[in-house]
Amino acid sequence: MDKPVDQTESVETQPVPALDLLTSFLRLGASSFGGGMTGWTHREIVERRQWLTDAEFLQTLTIAQIMPGANPVNLAVYIGLKLAGLRGAAVSLFGMVMPAFLAILALSFTYQQLRSHPEAQAVLRGLACVGIASSLTMGIKTARRLQAHMLPIGIAVTVFLTVGVLRWPLVLVVVAAIPISIAATFRLERKKNRG
């Protein structure tokens, strides 16, 4: 475990052609209907193309989840960076986002055509309910994984109240809350490790 992670070097010495990256991520971006992106990406990058090992993929995934930004996009960018440098990152970003972007444009256009119809309004209200329900579910599932301790729960509640109810600027709240939350976690972890 103490060894620095240099196994990736074998991959970096042989950059993957940008065109191959582009086709892989365009394909992944186009299959992003219905989620499950991590599984699809693993299948394409590890199983089919064999560009990364299982362990490398897992490390990449963790970083993609920690960093700000949409996870599937982060995953694409970081894999692209590892396989073919900044050019690879740019190509992978483009491939991952373009299909979804075209779908969004098509939906925008359809929305403009249909939005005066009351039926379309009703359907959108229904979809908004499901959208909110799915965010709520995501919040509940993430909250369940928090440590059962005053500090993390207090931080979550404070962020909710300041951003959601009091409407303080989100960026400032996050910039202030993250160091506090990390410091609190650091102390909790140290206490836990000492027994």
Q: Of the two residues 17 and 164, which places its CB atom closer to another protein in the complex?
A: 164
Q: How far is the CB of 79 from another protein (least distance, A)?
A: 10
CB of 20 to another protein, least distance (A): 20
Distance, in Å, from the CA atom of 160 to the CA atom of 182, rounded to the nearest integer, reads 17
Question: 23 vs 184, which CB is nearer to another protein?
Answer: 184
Nearer CB in complex with another protein: 21/64:
64
Cβ proximity of 91 and 80 under 8 Å: yes
What is the DSSP code (8-state) at residue 49?
Answer: S
Min dist CB 194 to another protein, Å, is 12
Largest CA distance in the chain: 64
Least Å from the CB of residue 49 to another protein: 20
The residue to which tokens 């373009």 are assigned:
98
Cβ-based nearer residue to another protein, 48 or 192: 192
Nearer to another protein, 4 or 50 (CB): 4
HEC string of 108-160 equals HHHHHHHCCCHHHHHHHHHHHHHHHHHHHHHHHHHHHCCCCCHHHHHHHHHHH
Q: How far is the CB of 65 from another protein (least distance, A)?
A: 8
Structure tokens at 184: 């609190």
In whole angstroms, what separates CA 85 from the centre of its chain?
20
Confirm if 155 and 184 have CB atoms less than 8 A apart: yes
